């Protein structure tokens, strides 16, 4: 369907206990859709299942997790059950992900520029020289100063905010996906850097026609940047809607509690 880029329907899953071997359900009949070229937030408290569901889209869920029901369709194509080779053609190239801890996601033994260039060569087949030129331009595009010099540095030489920018450069500009999933991209960053990162994400989404799925618990960020909101609680989707509707007339009691807790946090800040 042209009005949906990703559709999750009836997705359920469980973790297998290490000692007992019994299955512990954690996701229950999760269903939601992402509209093309929109920024959609998936919100909820820690443990709500929002990140686990996002990882499942790319087949990156923990090995102890098992899907028990449901489907995931990308542009109408079922992607669950694809073999590794077919999934690799989608992962990175068409759907990319930025993880919460950017410095941990970057390889500490290679320079940032080499990592971006190697990713580009993997997807595009460009020469090493051309790939490095694209890597430097990507760092410039995400507003990293002195990108030529920074490309020669290692992840430990980057601040948290700069590392997050580098990961956005890799996921959004090097991979050039249609869908970008971002798992808590502003967690652990100071308020000013958080605002800069979100401004960058919005700019990239608009300029490149990207669809963005933002996994977050920061409702302030959601209110300012997102078009749609999906609310999860204890492994279930409890409410979906346009951002304005969710914030002004929430239908579910959990959503109302979440908003109230967020407002209390802002008042106490």
What's the pLDDT score for residue 2? 60
- Burial of residue 82 (CB within 10 Å: 0-12, 13-18, 19+) is middle
Both tokens of 81, joined, read 């059950």
Q: Which residues pair with 12 in a beta bridge?
A: 69
What is the predicted pLDDT for the residue at 265? Answer: 53
pLDDT at 264 (0 to 100)? 59
Strand order in the sheet with 77-78: 23-34, 6-16, 65-74, 77-78
Task: Give me the pLDDT at residue 21, please.
Answer: 74
CA 193-53-227 angle, 5° bins = 55
pLDDT of residue 85: 86
Find out whether 165 and 155 touch, Cβ atoms under 8 Å.
Answer: no
Task: Please list the pLDDT of the chain residue by residue as tens digits (269 residues).
Answer: 468 999 999 999 999 877 767 889 999 999 999 999 999 999 999 999 999 999 999 989 999 999 999 999 999 999 998 888 888 889 888 999 998 888 888 999 999 999 999 999 988 889 999 999 999 999 999 999 999 999 999 999 999 999 999 999 999 999 999 999 999 988 888 889 889 999 999 999 999 999 999 999 889 889 999 999 999 999 999 999 999 999 999 999 999 999 998 875 555 44
The pTM for the full model equals 0.91
Length of the chain: 269
Residues 57, 49 contacting (CB under 8 angstroms): no
112-124 and 128-141 helices, crossing angle to 10°: 120
């Amino acid at each position: 369907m042209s009005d949906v880029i990703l559709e999750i329907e009836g997705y359920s899953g469980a973790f297998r206990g290490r000692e007992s071997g019994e299955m512990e359900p954690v996701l229950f009949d999760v269903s939601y859709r992402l509209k093309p070229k929109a920024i959609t937030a998936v919100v909820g408290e820690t443990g709500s299942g929002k990140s686990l569901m996002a990882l499942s889209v790319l087949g990156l869920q923990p090995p102890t997790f098992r899907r028990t029901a449901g489907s995931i369709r990308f542009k109408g194509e079922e992607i669950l059950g694809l073999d590794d080779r077919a999934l690799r053609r989608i992962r990175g190239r068409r759907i990319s992900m930025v993880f919460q801890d950017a410095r941990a996601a970057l390889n500490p033994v290679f320079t940032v520029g080499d990592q971006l260039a190697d990713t580009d060569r993997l997807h595009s087949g460009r020469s090493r020289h051309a790939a490095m030129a694209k890597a430097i331009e990507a760092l410039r595009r995400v507003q990293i100063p002195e990108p030529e010099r920074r490309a020669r540095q290692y992840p430990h030489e980057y601040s948290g905010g700069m590392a997050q920018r580098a990961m956005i450069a890799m996921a959004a500009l090097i991979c050039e996906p249609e869908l970008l999933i971002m798992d808590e991209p502003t967690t652990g960053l100071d308020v000013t850097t958080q605002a800069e990162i979100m401004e960058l994400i919005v700019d990239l989404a608009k300029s490149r026609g990207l669809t963005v799925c933002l996994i977050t618990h920061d409702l302030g960020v959601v209110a300012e940047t997102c078009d749609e909101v999906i609310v999860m609680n204890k492994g279930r989707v409890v409410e979906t809607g346009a951002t304005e509707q969710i914030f002004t007339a929430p239908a579910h009691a959990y959503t109302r509690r979440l908003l109230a807790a967020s407002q209390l946090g802002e008042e106490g800040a």
